[in-house]
């Protein structure tokens, strides 16, 4: 693993750019990407960064510079990827629940598309027939993932075309002579167990013989990263070995060897991100001592939305005597980041850093309570660059009709 950013570096960035501040370590993203390519060196693989985790164009440019591809969940994300300089051939759009017009727009961009409903597959067939090779997102009916909110492959999930509807899929393909080049599944996020991916592959092996023009199999994202000490993580080398074995044992009956695609989000950017806040207020009560920071779930929603754990460090006083604190925000609604957490003594004005803030941190932020979204900084080879300025009042009223 690449070196973490030091407390001194983070403090100096907080002083220079102000807080709250998101900081991303580009070299850590590179190290994570290289872990994947090294582990899968013996399988024909492509990694599409699931940019819904963090879409800043400078992060996308960095992913491009290290040889990655991009997976998008909206046509606007695809446009951001193109803005970042990606070739359309390296951009994948895995759609869900969208109007057909958005698929038409994606088609006009020349990017790869995974279609996730029979209805859109039919419309696609009618309009494009065999002329534009396309992928299908399937629902494998596998329960997996860190919690139900981030599980997507189970038999009550809205995502993908249920694999038990294969007959209907094949009828549409035959009717319009569709060229299906990719089969996609994504079972969820925070998946530690390698066998979940193997189960998914097994579901696909059963149906692959029906897809004569298939070129790739897309196993989605969801690799688990550790959020707290002692947390497990997906064993990537073991996964690579099992994927290789599975494909070696199941050569494509229709000839060409299939390429394996993945769409990692958290794995690439989660631990690369640091969210720096400053303590506004200390409040002692009978039950706990509150440390109220200059942020809230408007900036980092994961603790309140998923009960997610983020490690918090007091970088202003790392060696201080440990006490219990409840870390809250300044939002006019309960916004607890951590209840009764042991941290080195906190004083008003201290900088508290939330770790693993790169994935679904800034990206899920909002202007709730009419507060500004934070600035973002990227550090690469020791050099820091501002990659998004902090909101101003003008940003809050930009689209309001006054
Ligand atoms: N591919 C597809 C089709 C997806 O829906 C997702 C995530 C990914 C790839 C990337 O998954 P990852 O490698 O990041 O686990 N906001 C939640 C996570 C939601 C994930 C949504 N889809 C969180 O903060 O935990």
pLDDT in tens, 206-217: 999 999 999 999
For 45-83, b/e burial (b = at least 16 CB within 10 A) is: bbbbbbbbbbbbebbbbbbbebebbbbbbbbebbbbbbe
**pLDDT score recorded for residue 154:** 85
Q: Among the atoms of ligand 1, which is closest to the Cα of residue 220? A: 1
Task: For the chain, give every residue range classified as CATH 3.20.20.10.
Answer: 40-266
Q: Is 175 helix (H, G, I), strand (E, B) or coil?
A: helix
Q: Which entry of 286, 332, 401, 402 is annotated as an active-site residue? A: 332
Q: Is 325 helix (H, G, I), strand (E, B) or coil?
A: strand
Average pLDDT over residues 278-298: 97
Q: How many alpha carbons lie under 13 Å from residue 379 in its C-beta half-sphere? A: 22
Residue reference for tokens 């309001």: 400
- Distance separating the N- and C-terminal Cα atoms of the chain: 51
Pocket of ligand 1 (CB under 6 A): 50, 53, 71, 94, 150, 186, 189, 220-223, 263-267, 302, 306, 359-360
Q: How many alpha carbons lie under 13 Å from residue 359 in its C-beta half-sphere? A: 25
Q: Among the atoms of ligand 1, which is closest to the Cα of residue 264? A: 13
pLDDT, tens digit, 9 for 90 and up, residues 311-354 = 999 999 999 999 999 999 999 999 999 999 999 999 999 999 99
Cα–Cα nearest to 259, from 216, 198, 220:
216
Candidate from 193, 222, 262 with most ligand 1 atoms within 8 A of CB, to mutate: 222
Which residue has the least CA distance to atom 8 on ligand 1? 221
Calpha distance 362→22 (Å, rounded): 7
Average pLDDT over residues 358-368: 98
pLDDT above 70: percentage of residues in the chain: 99
Structure letter (DSSP) for residue 40? T
Cα–Cα nearest to 109, from 70, 65, 66, 58:
70
Q: Quick one: pLDDT band at residue 3, thresholds 50, 70, 90? A: low
Q: Among the atoms of ligand 1, which is closest to the Cα of residue 360? A: 24
Spacing of C-alpha 114 from chain mean position: 17
Q: What predicted TM-score, i.e. pTM, was given to this entire model?
A: 0.97
Q: Quick one: pLDDT band at residue 32, thresholds 50, 70, 90? A: very high
Query: Please, are residues 113 and 107 in contact by the beta-carbon 8 Å criterion?
Result: yes
Longest dimension (CA), the chain: 71
**pLDDT score recorded for residue 344:** 98
Please confirm, yes or no, whether 332 is among the known catalytic residues.
yes
Per-residue CA distances from 291 to 121, 294, 312, 352, 353 (Å): 52, 10, 12, 10, 13
Calpha distance 121→115 (Å, rounded): 6
pLDDT above 90: percentage of residues in the chain: 90
Average pLDDT over residues 278-283: 98
pLDDT surpasses 50 at 151: yes
Spacing of C-alpha 294 from chain mean position: 25
**pLDDT score recorded for residue 144:** 74
Task: For the chain, give every residue range classified as CATH 2.40.37.10.
Answer: 273-397
pLDDT surpasses 50 at 37: yes
CATH number of 40-266: 3.20.20.10
**pLDDT score recorded for residue 300:** 98
In this structure, CATH architecture of domain 273-397: Beta Barrel (2.40)
pLDDT surpasses 70 at 89: yes
**pLDDT score recorded for residue 149:** 81
Candidate from 221, 239, 306, 354 with most ligand 1 atoms within 8 A of CB, to mutate: 221
At a CB cut-off of 8 Å and minimum separation 6, what does 280 contact? 292, 293, 294, 330, 348
Calpha distance 301→284 (Å, rounded): 25
DSSP, residue by residue, 1-27: -PPPPPHHHHHHHHHHH-SSEEEEEHH
Q: Quick one: pLDDT band at residue 1, thresholds 50, 70, 90? A: very low
At a CB cut-off of 8 Å and minimum separation 6, what does 245 contact? none
**pLDDT score recorded for residue 214:** 97
Calpha distance 376→20 (Å, rounded): 9
Q: How far is the CA of 361 from the centre of ligand 1 (A)?
A: 12
Cα–Cα nearest to 125, from 182, 173, 184:
173
Lowest mean pLDDT among 113-122, 192-201, 269-278, 334-343: 192-201
């Amino acid at each position: 693993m690449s070196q973490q950013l030091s407390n001194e570096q983070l403090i100096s960035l907080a002083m220079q750019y102000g807080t709250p501040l998101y900081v991303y370590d580009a070299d850590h993203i590179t190290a994570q990407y290289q872990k994947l390519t090294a582990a899968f060196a013996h399988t024909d693989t492509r990694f599409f960064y699931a940019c819904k985790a963090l879409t800043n164009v400078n992060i996308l440019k960095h992913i491009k510079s290290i040889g990655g591809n991009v997976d998008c969940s909206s046509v606007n994300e695809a446009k951001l990827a193109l803005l970042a300089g990606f070739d359309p051939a390296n951009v994948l759009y895995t759609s869900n629940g969208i109007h057909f017009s958005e698929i038409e727009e994606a088609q006009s961009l020349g990017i790869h598309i995974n279609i996730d409903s029979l209805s859109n597959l039919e419309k696609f067939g009618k309009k494009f027939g065999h002329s534009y090779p396309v992928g299908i997102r399937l629902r494998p009916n596998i329960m997996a993932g860190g919690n139900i909110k981030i599980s997507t492959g189970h038999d009550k999930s809205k995502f993908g075309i249920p694999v038990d509807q294969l007959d209907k899929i094949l009828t549409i393909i035959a009717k319009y002579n569709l060229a299906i080049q990719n089969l996609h599944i994504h079972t969820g996020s925070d998946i530690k167990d390698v066998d979940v991916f193997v189960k998914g592959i097994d579901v696909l092996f059963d149906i692959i013989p029906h897809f004569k023009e298939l070129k790739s199999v897309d196993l989605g994202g969801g690799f688990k990263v550790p959020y707290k000490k002692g947390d497990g993580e997906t064993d990537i080398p073991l996964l690579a070995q099992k994927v290789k074995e599975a494909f070696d044992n199941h050569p494509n009956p229709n000839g060409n060897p299939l390429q394996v695609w993945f769409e990692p989000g958290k794995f690439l950017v989660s631990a690369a991100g640091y969210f720096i806040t400053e303590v506004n207020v200390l409040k002692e009560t009978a039950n706990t001592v509150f440390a109220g920071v200059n942020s809230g779930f408007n900036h980092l929603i994961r603790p309140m939305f998923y009960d997610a754990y983020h490690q918090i460090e007091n970088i202003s006083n790392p060696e201080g005597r440990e006490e219990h604190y409840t870390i809250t925000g300044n939002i006019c609604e309960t916004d607890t980041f951590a209840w009764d957490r042991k941290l080195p003594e906190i004083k008003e004005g201290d900088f508290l850093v939330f770790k693993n803030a790169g994935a679904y941190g800034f990206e899920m932020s909002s202007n709730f309570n009419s507060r500004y979204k934070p600035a973002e900084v990227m550090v690469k080879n020791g050099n820091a660059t501002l990659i998004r300025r902090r909101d101003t009042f003008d940003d809050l009223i930009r689209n309001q009709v006054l």
